[in-house]
């Protein structure tokens, strides 16, 4: 099967459906690859703790422990308190792992990239925004509204500053959602366009074959870059989420 459009790889299609009364539930390719990503995450982490020792003796254990320590250091640096970091670390580690493994699954040819859909990334952003807001109110009560009122500002411009702060706070969910969605979608679209261009050039004789070879070499390089971006985007999303939580806890 050859995709005719770079955007066809992002189409959501139903695999099977279940009817319950007047409700019809669809199990889509998006759901299937989300399940695959979660299963892969479980398998990798299970292998890392299989016959694990205090000093890592396998690459699986060493790699996962390095990743664990990397995210732990980030959370501790952001939250500034080991006790607070330990409390919220499991969520951030799962968030990072969920995005990373789904990004990597999406790199497999003819698979489905879950994070290339704004509905998925926006849902994650909403979860982060609602969760951090609830934690902020639980920590500070009504004093949480103080984060929208800059101290020392003239009273005359206070309404404008409060409006700007509120809009900035609300749009954080859009910021992290669009960043992840746009980067993954743009990268996969570029790979499909270049791969399709190379396929067309193969029918152009010797010159076309040579050009297709160069194009495929570029595609290989970009694929390696996309693997790095898959890790980077998972880290950036997690880091920003942790930063928003830190702002709500400390009212910065």
Average pLDDT score over residue span 53-64: 79
Length of the chain (residues): 252
- The answer to whether residue 1 scores a pLDDT higher than 60 is no
Spatial distance between the Cα atoms of 164 and 159, rounded to a whole number of angstroms: 9
The DSSP code sequence of 174-225 is HHHHHHHHHHHHHHHHHHHHHHHHHHHHTTSHHHHHHHHHHHHHHHHHHHHH
- The answer to whether residue 252 scores a pLDDT higher than 80 is no
Instruction: Between 147 and 92, name the one with better pLDDT.
Output: 92
| Angle 42-58-73 from CA coordinates, rounded to 5° | 65
Spatial distance between the Cα atoms of 113 and 102, rounded to a whole number of angstroms: 7
What digits encode the pLDDT tens for the residues 148-184? 777 776 777 778 888 888 888 888 888 888 888 888 8
- The answer to whether residue 5 scores a pLDDT higher than 70 is no
In the DSSP assignment, the letter for residue 20 is E
**pTM exceeds cut of 0.75:** yes
């Amino acid at each position: 099967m050859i995709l005719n459009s770079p955007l066809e790889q992002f189409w959501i299609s139903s695999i099977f459906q279940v009817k319950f009364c007047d409700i019809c539930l669809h199990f889509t390719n998006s759901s299937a690859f989300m399940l695959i990503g979660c299963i892969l995450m479980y398998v990798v982490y299970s292998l890392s703790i299989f016959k694990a020792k205090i000093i890592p003796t396998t690459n699986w254990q060493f790699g996962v422990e390095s990743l664990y320590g990397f995210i732990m250091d980030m959370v501790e640096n952001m939250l500034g308190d080991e006790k607070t970091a330990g409390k919220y670390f499991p969520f951030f580690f799962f968030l990072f792992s969920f995005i990373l493994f789904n990004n990597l699954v999406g790199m497999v040819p003819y698979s489905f990239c879950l994070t290339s859909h704004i509905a998925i990334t926006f849902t994650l952003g909403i979860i982060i925004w609602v969760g951090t807001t609830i934690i902020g109110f639980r920590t500070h009560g009504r004093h949480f509204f103080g984060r929208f009122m800059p101290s020392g500002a003239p009273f005359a411009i206070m309404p404008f500053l409060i409006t700007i702060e509120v809009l900035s706070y609300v749009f954080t969910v859009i910021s992290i959602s669009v960043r992840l969605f746009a980067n993954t979608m743009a990268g996969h679209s570029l790979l499909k366009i270049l791969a399709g261009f190379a396929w067309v050039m193969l029918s152009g004789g010797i010159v076309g074959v040579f050009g297709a070879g160069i194009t495929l070499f570029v595609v290989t390089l970009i694929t390696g870059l996309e693997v790095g971006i898959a890790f980077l985007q998972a880290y950036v999303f997690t880091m920003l989420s942790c930063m928003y939580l830190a702002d709500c806890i400390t009212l910065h």
